[in-house]
Amino acid sequence: MNVDEDTLPVRGLPVFLEETQKLADWMRELSREELKAIWKCNDRLAAVNYERHQHMDLLRALTPAVLSYEGLAYQHMAPAVFDGECLEYIEEHLRILSGFYGLLRPFDGVRPYRLEMQAKIACGGCRTLYEFWGDRIARRLFAETDCIVDLASREYSRCISGYLPEGTRYVTFVFGELSDGRVKEKGTYCKIARGEMVRYMAEHKIEKPEDCKGFQMYGFHYSEALSGENRYIFTR
C-alpha cells in the first residue's frame, strides 16, 4: 500500500471506523508469528506489517483510499492523473471493499494495513471476516443505490452478492478469454481490465451499465452472444 498525503486531499473518514478499530485492537494483541499465519506472507512482509499494526493511529497520517492501493487494478485506473470531473465521478460512483475497513469512499483517509477478506480471525466472537462484517457492508452500499456494477474479485463481492434486496440490479462484469466454448478468466488481465473499466466509466461519465458495452481495452470486447441481462462478458 502507498502512503501519499500530498497528491489529493482526504475528504472524510471510513464509515465503519469503530469496527475497524476493534480489528486493529485485536491484531495489536497478536504476536508476529500469529499475524504471519493470518496474513500468509513471508518474514519480511510480516515484520513490516507487524510494526504498522503495532503503532497504527486510524486518525493520523492518512492517504485517500483510491491512492492507497497499488495493485494492478489501481495502477490501470490511475486516479492520480484524473481530471476534476473524473475525481467527482468516482467520489459519487466508486466504492471500495476492504477486509479491514469494510466499505470505503475514494477519498476516505486510510492507513496501510494487511488483512484480506478471506482471512481467518478470532475477533468479536467471529471466526472469519465474512462473519465479522455480516450484512453491514451490503446494507450500507444498498442505502446509496439500487444498481451495482461488480468489478470486485469473488472473495470480496460475496460480501455484497449474498444480501441483495428485492428490486436491486446487480451486474457482474467478467473479463476472460474464449477457449473451447468457455470463458476463462486470467488473473492479471482481469485485474488490469477492472481498473481500465473504472477509468472508462469515469471518463465517459457512465450512468447505466448498458453504456459500458463500448469498452475496448487490452483487446477486450463486449460479447452480446455470451452475455446476459445482469452478466456482461468481455472477451479477448
How confident is residue 179, by pLDDT bands cut at 50, 70 and 90? confident
The region that residue 173 occupies, defined by phi over 0 for left and psi between -120 and 50 for alpha, beta otherwise, is: beta
- Helix, strand and coil percent figures for the chain, each rounded to 5: 40, 20, 40
User: Within 10 Å of residue 34's Cβ, how many Cβ atoms?
Assistant: 13
Instruction: Return the percentage of the chain with pLDDT > 70, whole number.
Output: 100
Q: Do the Cβ atoms of 229 and 210 come closer than 8 Å?
A: no
Residue 12: DSSP 8-state: B
What's the grid cell of residue 176?
A: 476472460
pLDDT at 182 over 90: no
Q: What stretches of 71-186 show up as alpha helix (H) in DSSP?
A: 72-77, 84-93, 129-133, 136-142, 154-161
Q: Do the Cβ atoms of 72 and 78 come closer than 8 Å?
A: no
Taking residues 220-231, report their average pLDDT.
Answer: 96
- Confidence (pLDDT) at 187: 85
| Per-residue pLDDT tens over the stretch 192-224 | 999 999 999 999 999 999 999 999 999 999 999
- Separation CA 85–CA 68 (nearest Å): 20
How confident is residue 140, by pLDDT bands cut at 50, 70 and 90? very high
How confident is residue 9, by pLDDT bands cut at 50, 70 and 90? very high
Listed range (1-15, 58-72, 143-157, 172-186) with the worst mean pLDDT: 172-186
- Separation CA 157–CA 17 (nearest Å): 21
| pTM, rounded to two decimals | 0.95
- Confidence (pLDDT) at 13: 98
Q: Do the Cβ atoms of 161 and 171 come closer than 8 Å?
A: no
Exposed / middle / buried, residue 54 (Cβ in 10 Å: 0-12, 13-18, 19+): exposed
- Separation CA 165–CA 139 (nearest Å): 9
Contacts of 203 (CB under 8 A, 6+ apart): 86
| Per-residue pLDDT tens over the stretch 63-118 | 999 999 999 999 999 999 999 999 999 999 999 999 999 999 999 999 999 999 99
| Whole-number average pLDDT of the chain | 95
pLDDT at 181 over 90: no
Q: Where are the beta strands (DSSP E) in 9-86?
A: 63-64
Exposed / middle / buried, residue 201 (Cβ in 10 Å: 0-12, 13-18, 19+): buried
In this structure, what are the phi and psi dihedrals at residue 103, rounded to the nearest 5 degrees?
A: -130, 130
